[in-house]
Every structure is written in structure tokens, then in C-alpha cells.
Amino acid sequence: MAISPDYLQELSQRTDIAELVGGYVQLRRRGRTYTGLCPFHSEKTPSFVVYPETASFYCFGCGAGGDAITFVKRINNLDYIEAVKFLAARAGMPLPDDRDDTGKIKRRILAMNKDTARFYFEQLNTDEGRAARGYLRGRALSDGTIRRFGLGYSPEGYHATSDHLRKKGYTEEEMLAGGIIKRGQRGGTYDFFHGRVMFPIIDLRGNVIAFGGRRMGDEGGPKYLNSGDTPVFKKSRNMFALNIAKRSQSKRYILCEGYMDAIALHQAGFDTAVAPLGTAFTPEQAKLLSTYADELVLSYDSDEAGQKATRRAIGILANEPVKVSILTVQGAKDPDEFIKKYGAERFQMLLDGCNNAIEYELARARANYDLAKPDGRVGYLRDAIEILSGRVTPTERDVYAGRLAEETDVEKKTVLTQLEARLRAKSRKAAKEREKALLGEGAAAQIKVPYTQGGQKALGVAFAEQQLMAAAIKDPEYLKTIAARLSPGQFITPEMAEVFQLLLQKQQRGEYVDFTQLSGELPEATVSLLSRVLAQNYDVGFTARDVTLYMERIEESVPKSAAAAGMSPQELEGYLERLKQKRK
């Protein structure tokens, strides 16, 4: 659907992009801009910048950029229309008319998922659902917990769910798009989750966006089946039970391995338990949790797979502003079994006595060596120095250096000397990597010119095209000057030619031109490129002389015969006159 330029202009004026982004990213003011850690990739040094004057953002680390609508699209996994509606509701504006096809299929899938979840819940209390009820009772779940999480049962057979949904008016295409059914090798369809206990996945707005299904016996495929990515669901960007946990007063969240672990903890009164959705813990999930949690307790199984997952999660969370603690469960295989054996109060004591990530890693390193032997102490000290040279505060380094000295019978001063040497070595390595990266971050290095246009020789022309478009957006008066001498067909980079063409169309229609007006009509890659160009020119005040020089650079790149052949008599006369003036 097309949204009127006037509506977008008002939406842009009502949206403070720094305030919007600040709801997701911890920003620090730097003069007229704001900086922070990028929410779209993991980083330790802030490279994400918000520019209030142009209502845009850009990350110099990963290249993500755009306006407020682009930000909402990416951070909340929405399409363009949904992002506009999100901002409109936030700004107190009436919603734009909604007739777009993408929005329609998403609404249909969400409605279908809600009806499917109700169907599964109802089936749990039928005769056919007896085994599923028995499984949940065997896990000691109460009726209240079952209702709270909307647990259900997908009947045996291959068409019970899909037959029910057809009667509700949903099509086969909609069921396929939502992952409720799958297509078999012979072309037919079948219910994806048949014969399983069902766990609806609910997002932060209360929508049922996906499902998880658990097998009850030892046969019948994988123990768990999970919805794949759909138009309304990205498993790497959501968390099970976060919709409930976010309402808690506690800021200490518990990260569990699976759905049942999280549900059991909620039933025991620990209402901040969450779990990934059939995948390993992801950086996107880490960023999501750090928005709500001040501390994250990792509660994985004590087997090798669980410990591997713990170490991986520690590494991912190292770049997030959240305290990480490690839960060690003794006398039971997981928190659920521990609570059943010893009660919730004992489990609370476990939580309160959690080791932090540093102590966890030091303990694992110490377990690899015999500290009674000199070579064991040397090996342990080497590994511990490496751990403490990571993301650790100076105070923590001093405290743990003292502990290392006691454990290895080495003077604390010696430990600190080795630690400082390792920190200096890491600092030198990081400086070299930054220097290497900077060599590739200049304006020319970011410009991609089609091979047919002369490759590296045309970089100057491509740069001139980018600068011209930045000037036209920052000061639309320059667009008239540019349009009088150049056409999009003279541009060698298709992205800037598309931007130029769009600017001309808006100028001809008498529409207001700003970055927000353009972002909805350009590909995401072009929006990111344009936001980078604007970011690089944020403090640049373009003059008429600058614009003229850039135009001349582009004109000189066009073969004179080819340029003349495409000109009208009046254009040719003007072109020849400019050449004369230039020679003079």
C-alpha cells in the first residue's frame, strides 16, 4: 500500500529518533549525535551512531542504517507497513489504511495461530488427549500452569488440525505459510505436529507466533519439533516465556535449556525463567534479554553438552551490559528435579549462591591441572591469566589475582605483572586490527562500482554521485541545480541513479523531500548505503561550488561523443559553451 508523503512527514516530525532508539540501545550523547553498541551485531566498542538532525542512524561496524521506520523494522522484525503502524501508535496518530498483501498474510497467520492454539488446548481435554494429560501430570504441572502457558495436544493422524482450520476458513496456502502443515514428497500435505504435546510461542505483544511440540513416547521422530521461520516468526529473535517474564518485578532472569525447564520454574515461583526456541542461544536473543534483565543466570544441564552450551552463552553475553551468573545444580540432573527433591527455598539458595562467569571459567580451568605439581600450577596460571585479560574490570582483576597467588603459591605482584603484559599484548593486537580495518573504511573503499563502468578507475565518479545525492537531501534547493545539468542515466552506480530518479519524481510532484520520504521506496541495501553517505557528511556544509565540482566530475566521465549524441540542440549548445568556459 502507498502511504501519503504528508502522513510520513508528520510521522517523522512526531518521532524523536534518539528517544526511540534509546528504548532499545543505551546511548551516550556526543555533541549533536548519540552513540552506543549496535543492536544488530555484537561489538565491544560503540560504532552505532544516531543523527537527530537527519532523523537517521548508521552503524560503522556492520553497515546497518536508515531512519526510524527502518530501525523499527529491523529491531522488531516487522515489515514496512507494520513499522509505520508501530510508530504511528507510539506518536498517537491514526493508523494508515491497511490493504497491503504482506500485512494481510501476517494478520491471517496470527489469527490462524490463535485458533490453532485454542484447538490444541481443547484437544488436551478429550479422550484422545488422555496420554498428553498423563505426560503433563507426570511432570507435576498443575491445571493453572497448563492454562497459563496454553499447553495443548495435537491429535494423531495427519489432518485433524488442518481439517479444523479449513472449517474456520483458512486456506492451504495460509497453513503452509504459517508452518501448521507441511508438504510431503508426493505433493500432499500433513499436520506437522500430529500426536504431540503442544507449547504455543507467544511474543511480547501477546500474539501466538509459533509452536513447539514434544513427543510423548520413545518413537515418532525427534523429541521436539519447532516451527520454522515464517512471516511472523524468527526463532533466533524470540524467547519462550519472555512475554510472562517481562511482567516480573525481578531483573534477574534464568536462562533454561528447554520449554519444560522454564515452565517448571515458573510453577515453583521463579517467574523470570525463559528458554530458546529449538536453537542454540543466539546474539539476537542475548540483546533481547539484556533489554529486560540486569542479571542472567545460566541454568543448563551439567552434562558435557550443557557445559558446552554454557561456555558458548558466556561468550555471546560478554558483549552485553548484563551480569552473567552460572547455576550449579548438585544432587539432581536439572532445576526441575532439584525443586521436586528439595523444594523451592533450597533452589532460591542455589540462585543466591551462583558463581559469576569469571569464577565458573576459573574453576573449569583449575579442574584441568594438578596444583600440587609445578607444571600444573604454571598451566593453570597461564589459562587463568588469559581469562582475566578478557572483559573483566580492574577491581575484579586485582581480587582474582590475589586468589590466583594463593592457589599457585606465586606472589600477587608476579601475577599482576604477567596479567599486565598479556593486556598490553592484546591491546597492541587490537590496535593493529583497528588500523587494518580503518584502511578499508575510507569513502572510496565503501564504493562499489560496476565492473562494466571501469571498476577502480570510476571510484571518483561514484564518490561524486554519492556526494551530490547527500547535498540534494540535505538542501533540496541543490536538486534544481543538479537536475538542470544531469540525468539519472549519466550515473554509473545504479543505487545513486535510483535515488536521483526518486528525488526528481518527488520534486515534480511537489512533495516534501527528506530521508524518511525516501526510505519507504528504496531497497533496504540502498537505504543503508544512503544512510552511510549521510553519516559521512553529517558535519559537511555543501556549497554551490562543491555541487558544481561534483557535477563536472560526472560530466567528464561521459564520453563526449556519447553525451552529445543524446542531447537536444539546446542542451548541446549549453554543453559546448561550458566546455569553452572550462578551457578558458
- The 10s digit of each residue's pLDDT in 356-383 is 888 888 888 888 999 989 899 999 999 9
For the domain spanning 100-233, the CATH number is 3.90.980.10
For the domain spanning 445-583, the CATH number is 1.10.860.10
pLDDT tens-digit profile of 13-37? Answer: 889 999 999 988 889 988 889 999 9
Averaged pLDDT for residues 405-433:
85
| Sole residue written with cell 520413545 | 218
pLDDT score recorded for residue 129: 95
Averaged pLDDT for residues 223-229:
92
Mean pLDDT for the chain overall: 85
pLDDT tops 50 at residue 565:
no
pLDDT score recorded for residue 564: 45
Averaged pLDDT for residues 237-256:
93
pLDDT score recorded for residue 423: 86
Confidence of residue 576 (pLDDT cuts 50, 70, 90): low
pLDDT tops 60 at residue 442:
no
What is the 3 state secondary structure string of 60-97? Answer: CCCCCEEEHHHHHHHHHCCCHHHHHHHHHHHHCCCCCC
| Sole residue written with cell 531512519 | 67
Confidence of residue 162 (pLDDT cuts 50, 70, 90): very high
Residue 415 φ/ψ, nearest 5 degrees: -60, -45
pLDDT tens-digit profile of 248-297? Answer: 999 999 999 889 999 999 999 999 999 999 788 988 898 889 888 989 99
Query: Does the 5-91 domain belong in CATH 3.40.50.720?
Result: no
pLDDT tens-digit profile of 298-327? Answer: 998 877 888 888 989 998 888 787 889 999
Confidence of residue 441 (pLDDT cuts 50, 70, 90): very low
pLDDT score recorded for residue 438: 43
Coil, helix or strand at residue 24: coil
pLDDT tops 50 at residue 452:
no
pLDDT tens-digit profile of 103-144? Answer: 788 889 999 999 999 999 999 999 999 999 999 999 999 999
| Sole residue written with cell 483458512 | 170
pTM (global) more than 0.75:
no
C-alpha cell at 127: 479422550
Q: Could you tell me the end-to-end alpha-carbon distance of the chain, in angstroms, rounded to an integer? A: 53
pLDDT score recorded for residue 444: 42
Confidence of residue 558 (pLDDT cuts 50, 70, 90): low
pLDDT tens-digit profile of 502-538? Answer: 999 988 888 777 788 788 888 888 888 898 888 888 8
pLDDT tops 60 at residue 566:
no
Averaged pLDDT for residues 547-555:
88
Backbone torsion region of residue 325, taken as left when φ is above 0, otherwise alpha when ψ lies between -120 and 50, otherwise beta: beta
pLDDT score recorded for residue 290: 85
Instruction: Evaluate whether 46 touches 35 at the Cβ level (below 8 Å).
Output: yes
The strands making up 252-256's β-sheet, listed across from edge to edge, are 273-274, 252-256, 295-299, 323-326, 355-356
pLDDT exceeding 90 applies to what percent of the chain?
A: 39
pLDDT score recorded for residue 107: 87
Q: Of 280-289, 457-466, 574-583, where does mean pLDDT reach its minimum?
A: 574-583
Spatial separation of the C-alpha atoms in residues 99 and 341, rounded to whole Å = 56
DSSP state of 181: E
Partners of residue 255 on adjacent β-strands: 274, 298
pLDDT tens-digit profile of 47-65? Answer: 999 998 888 999 988 889 9
Confidence of residue 2 (pLDDT cuts 50, 70, 90): low
Partners of residue 67 on adjacent β-strands: 56
Confidence of residue 97 (pLDDT cuts 50, 70, 90): low
Instruction: Evaluate whether 149 touches 199 at the Cβ level (below 8 Å).
Output: yes
Of 548 and 450, which is predicted with more confidence? 548
pLDDT tops 50 at residue 159:
yes
Beta strand residue intervals within 203-322, DSSP E: 208-214, 224-226, 252-256, 273-274, 295-299
Averaged pLDDT for residues 394-421:
89
- CATH-assigned architecture of domain 235-353: 3-Layer(aba) Sandwich (3.40)
